[in-house]
Structures are given as C-alpha cells and as structure tokens.
Amino acid sequence: MTEPVFRYHPDPLATGSAMPIEHECSVCGQLRQVRYRGPIYGGQPETLCLHCIYSGEASRALGVVAVATDGSDILDMPAEFSDAVDVPDDVPHHVIEEITRRTPGFTGWQQESWLYHCRDGAAFLGPAGYRDVEPHPDALNMLRASHRQLGWSPEETEEFLHRLDRNGEPTAYLFQCLHCGTHLASWDIG
C-alpha cells in the first residue's frame, strides 16, 4: 500500500521521522510498512502509522483531556506532532492545523518549530549539516541573521556554521518555501 504524501513533510523516511518496519498500528490496527518515530504531544501509542497522521485519526485518538489553567473548563486537546511557535500572523489557521495535527513532526535537540514563508508553512527537508546547507545561501543567511540578533561575531558564526552536523550537534533544520522556492533554516544545540 502506498504511503500518504504530506504537503509540509514530503519525505519523512529521508528526514528520519519515519522508519520502514512492518508493524500493527496501535491506532488503526492495520498492518503497516512504515512507522512514525517523531514526537507526539498527546497520548503515546505503542506504534503509529503515517496514514493515521494523514487522516487526522491519530490526532483525535491520541488527544488528551486537560483542565483549563484557571480550572474553569475541561478541554479536549487533540494530539499534535509539532508545536506552533512564532507563526507569522498572515498564515491561515487551517495551515497551522494541518502542520501540527496532520503532518509528521521531527525531533531536534530542543523543541522544534516549523518555519513559514509566503503566508504558508514551508516543507521540511530534514536535519542538516554544513554540507547540506552550504548550497543554499538563503538558508545560510537566515542562520547568520539569527546569530547576529544574538550578538555573535561574524567569526563565531562562520565557525559555528562549519560545525553543523546532521547527526550530531549543533544541527540545522532545512525547509523550502512551497511558493517561491526559498530555502529556510533554523538551528539548535543540545
């Protein structure tokens, strides 16, 4: 059976958010060939397939009931696979919902946030080392800009960029805008 294709996460096998292994999905009970291995903010199933993420079934089935912070209300919280952090104001709500609830997330050293461009979510291409980011000056410049804001010197920044490692740390996370093709990157460190 073919695997679902996610607009914002085109190749979860390549990014490491899924692995090819036969399993019986805890949510749908079907025998599946690809298993999700990214973060789940919600109930923790033994195993989860990509079909259940795609359909929204996983988000519903793994949702949790929480009491509002002021104790006034009981909330049904759908499970999410990534956090909506620093989302630009012009991104429609349905996009945020699709990314957080119906798109495989990815694991970083810290809690990862999705990147956005052209009023839409960007496609996640995967964790990246220096050699993965180097061909994309737009992504490199985005990393440089974030370091400038933190007060790093240009020398410190260049040294840092060369240490980026897809499997070690620090790691960059590479995205591409679905509209203008610009490459984007964030980074973190353990």
For Zn ion, which is the closer residue by CB, 30 or 111? 30
For 120-150, b/e burial (b = at least 16 CB within 10 A) is bbbbbbbbbbbebbeebeebbebbbeebeee
Site for Zn ion in 110-129 (CB under 5 A): 117-118
Return the residue of 25, 133, 139, 143 that touches Zn ion, per CB under 5 A.
25
Which segment (1-9, 82-90, 143-151, 169-177) binds Zn ion by CB under 5 A?
169-177
Which segment (46-54, 87-95, 140-148, 166-174) binds Zn ion by CB under 5 A?
46-54
CA distance 96 to 92: 7
Min dist CB 100 to Zn ion, Å, is 18
Q: Which residues contact 27 (CB under 8 A, 6 or more apart)?
A: 45, 48, 49, 52, 57, 58, 61, 62
Question: Does position 143 bind Zn ion by CB under 5 A?
Answer: no
Which segment (24-32, 35-43, 128-136, 140-148) binds Zn ion by CB under 5 A?
24-32
Taking each helix axis as running N to C, give the angle between helix 137-149 and helix 154-163, from 0 to 180 degrees, rounded to the nearest 10.
130
Residue type present at position 24: E
List of residues contacting Zn ion (CB under 5 A): 25, 27-28, 49, 52, 117-118, 177, 179-180, 182
